[in-house]
Structure 1
Amino acid sequence: MIPDTKKKVSTIYKKVKEGTFLTESSDKGIILGIRLAENLNVGLDEKIVIMSQALDGSIAAGAFHVKGLFDTGTEEIDKGVVIITHKAAEELFVMHDKTSEIAIRLKNVEDAQKVSTLIRQKLNSSELEILPWQEVSTVLEQWIEFDNGFIYLIVIVVMIVVAIGILNTVLMGVLERTREFGILLALGTKRKQILAMVAWESLFLGVIGSLFGSLLGILLTLQLGKTGINLSMFSSALTSFYMDPYIYPVSKTDHIIISIALVLVTSILVSIYPAWHAANLKPVEAIRSI
């Protein structure tokens, strides 16, 4: 790998716990997972010999000095991955200015399919295999789709809870003010005005609740976005995906707007029955009620 560009597509340089990450001049340097170092019984500045098969079929052998040890929290990576510079790999595997893989990191992961298709059309080469991440890791894509479906289910459950909460609050408020509504109707207040009053109260509750909840959610997301959520307890499940055990949530404006809109729509819908009940009270019976 090329150290400077590696940092643009991977965060593994942040996982170096001992020593330092490789630089452009580290042609004889190597970094490896901390578990692999334990298995090989090697430490910083010690020599390690790599033996493999070169591109031309010959035996590739090279001695490197350990410059750093990384700890990603994913056992399969920490005990099975070593990293050397691109220049060192060219010499070791007799690659003759060839590159085995080029990774491109996009700002939006959803653009991967479109960008890979565009690159494939531009290069128009049968010798190159251009794959979006969805094809590189189909299991991960399926897991994300499952996770998104689960999130939608959670949203539905939350909306039901919100609806019940608002309905209970508004309905109790209507029942407690039955006499007041009766007096208003007796004084000539139109039923549609009573209906609008209750609907506005419900909407107000939704606005206050959604704004407060969104603010709390944004603050929590900002904090967790810095510290991350440690999922190392589920490391065995994450191993097959080679995922960082820490996840960093982000706030998206469209998600916040959709959430607030859902709460407001729910508030209006659940106010229909309490508003209808208040608007259809009989003034005399309502005034007599306790």
Structure 2
Amino acid sequence: MDLFLLAWKNLWRSRRRTLITLAALSFSLMLVQGFHNLSFGVYSEMIDSGVRAGTGHLVVYQQDYVAGRDEKFSFDPQKLVSQISDLDGVEAVLPRLYLPGLAQSSRESRGILLTGVDPSAEHMINPFLKNLTAEQLPTLSGREAVLGSRLLKELQLKPGNKFVVTLQRRDGELVSEMFRVHSVVTTGIKNVDKSLLLVGRERAAAMAGMPGEVHELAVVLQDQRADRQVFPLLQALLHDRPQLRALSWDEAMPNLSNAIKLDYASQKFIFVIMLLIVTIGVINTLLMSVMERFREFGVMLAVGASTLRLRVLVFVEAFLLGVVAMLLGSIFGSLLTWYLSAVGIDLRDFIDSSLEFGGVVFDPIMRASWDLPYMLQIAGFMLLLSLAAAVYPAIKAGRILPAEALRHH
């Protein structure tokens, strides 16, 4: 206890230097925690938005459909939809078909991806359809269609107009059917708005000659962090159907996954550089403290103190410095996270409101989410950095010779 008390008093001999070092450590920890939580919140929102319009948090495909998106890899879900829906943590199961084809109006033609969905199941889940009323949704087996706004413009159509969709049936024959523009959506993703064409799943399946079959079962979870618990249960349901595969969203949506990983890796690199710069500041503080007490350490050695005690004293000073910085930084980091969570950062004055990132529309109002394990981890890392920064000053203190130190002025 005496050693801790002595180390605490030594830190405050140069109050200004200690305060500057504590401020640098605390401020750096606050920034790392706060902006990591901001990234964590933005990524979570992007993942949730992306998987609801895309493959779901978990997804079921036949064989290697995800590799080439070959429409021949379809399957009859049978009772899987109800069985998966009964699993704990599952919010919805969305059966979908994806059929490449050609949309033709009286003036223009465009390549499209005809998507067959269950409109009532998708309505409050799929962000593309959330803004539509129940009356604006297509029926399961009708000829109503939802078009992307760019596709509507390029085909020179208006709501209520009719157009023709042509695609290849399962048996290889070309088939054409007439649909009517029932409603229009703007997703903010250019490629999607240029090719989106949603119809009822039963109509799409009948047109392609695969009644009752789907290409994808998108499993949307109540909490995206529950995927590790739900995934083994999903695999168990598929045990008797080896031709079906269960995948996580990052395997099924590699563009979004890789974009997030790349952005997060660049942030971690910046965080590491910031912490290393702070570490240099701690080394400077402790080394200056040792040099200023050169004569004092010599006296301590002359009266019987061991070099080990001097080195431990320097490490205790670094430990106390790290603990105080860790506590202050975590408090300020929590306050910053609270502000970024409640208010966020509004970028609408600087960027397009429909900015796309990794195939998902980027919300220009960024908000943080709490990642408490990471906050504790980075706070502990800060303490370890402080102790690591004390290695050289401690070695320097242990090499002091009493006779030489007593002559030092």
Q: What TM-score results when the alignment is normalised by the length of structure 2?
A: 0.52
Distance 1:6-1:170 versus aligned 2 partners, 3 A rule = farther
Distance 1:176-1:257 versus aligned 2 partners, 3 A rule = same
Aligned twin of 1:17: none
Gaps of 5+ in 1: 15-19
RMSD: 4.3
Q: Is the 8 A contact 2:318 2:390 kept in 1?
A: yes
Aligned twin of 2:192: 77
Distance 1:34-1:285 versus aligned 2 partners, 3 A rule = farther
Superposition pairs for residues 178-189 of structure 1, below 5 Å?
178-185=294-301, 188-189=304-305
For the residues of structure 2 that align with 1:147 and 1:122, how far apart are their CA atoms? Answer: 37
User: By how many angstroms is 1:279 displaced?
Assistant: 4.0
Distance 1:148-1:115 versus aligned 2 partners, 3 A rule = farther
Instruction: Tell me the secondary structure at the aligned position of residue 269 of structure 1.
Output: helix
User: By how many angstroms is 1:276 displaced?
Assistant: 2.8
198-207 vs 93-102, greater mean Cα deviation: 93-102
| Percent identical | 23
1:268 aligns with 2:379: no
Normalized per residue, the structure richer in strand is 2
1:157 aligns with 2:276: no
For the residues of structure 2 that align with 1:248 and 1:176, how far apart are their CA atoms? Answer: 47
Residue by residue over 1:236-277, the C-alpha shift from the partner in whole angstroms, topping out at 9 and shown as x without a partner, is 984xx4223237654433322332232222211220221232
Residue by residue over 1:9-63, the C-alpha shift from the partner in whole angstroms, topping out at 9 and shown as x without a partner, is 644456xxxxx324388336655444444445667xx324352247676422222
Distance 1:92-1:224 versus aligned 2 partners, 3 A rule = farther
Instruction: Work out which of the residue numbers 60, 65, 69 in structure 1 matches 2:182.
Output: 65
Q: Is the 8 A contact 1:205 1:267 kept in 2?
A: yes
Q: Is the 8 A contact 2:160 2:182 kept in 1?
A: yes
For the residues of structure 2 that align with 1:25 and 1:87, how far apart are their CA atoms? Answer: 18
Residue by residue over 1:140-163, the C-alpha shift from the partner in whole angstroms, topping out at 9 and shown as x without a partner, is 555555556555544543443232
Superposition pairs for residues 3-42 of structure 1, below 5 Å?
3=119, 5-6=121-122, 10-13=126-129, 20-23=131-134, 26-27=137-138, 31-40=146-155
1:205 aligns with 2:321: yes
**Code of the aligned partner of 2:392:** Y
Gaps of 5+ in 2: 1-116
**Code of the aligned partner of 2:394:** A
For the residues of structure 2 that align with 1:33 and 1:25, how far apart are their CA atoms? Answer: 14
For the residues of structure 1 that align with 2:242 and 2:247, how far apart are their CA atoms? Answer: 13
User: By how many angstroms is 1:78 displaced?
Assistant: 2.8
Normalized per residue, the structure richer in helix is 1
1:47 aligns with 2:151: no
User: By how many angstroms is 1:280 displaced?
Assistant: 3.9
Aligned twin of 2:218: 103
Superposition pairs for residues 160-175 of structure 1, below 5 Å?
160-175=276-291
**Code of the aligned partner of 2:178:** A
Aligned twin of 2:31: none
User: By how many angstroms is 1:167 displaced?
Assistant: 0.8
Instruction: Work out which of the residue numbers 258, 275, 280 in structure 1 matches 2:377.
Output: 258
97-106 vs 246-255, greater mean Cα deviation: 246-255
Q: Is the 8 A contact 1:185 1:283 kept in 2?
A: yes
Aligned twin of 1:195: 311
Q: Is the 8 A contact 1:61 1:92 kept in 2?
A: no
For the residues of structure 2 that align with 1:125 and 1:177, how far apart are their CA atoms? Answer: 73
Q: What TM-score results when the alignment is normalised by the length of structure 1?
A: 0.69
Q: Is the 8 A contact 2:283 2:389 kept in 1?
A: yes
Aligned twin of 2:400: 281
Aligned twin of 2:47: none
133-142 vs 155-164, greater mean Cα deviation: 133-142
Instruction: Tell me the secondary structure at the aligned position of residue 381 of structure 2.
Output: helix
Q: Is the 8 A contact 1:31 1:70 kept in 2?
A: no
- Relative contact order, CA 8 A, sep 6+: which one is greater? 2
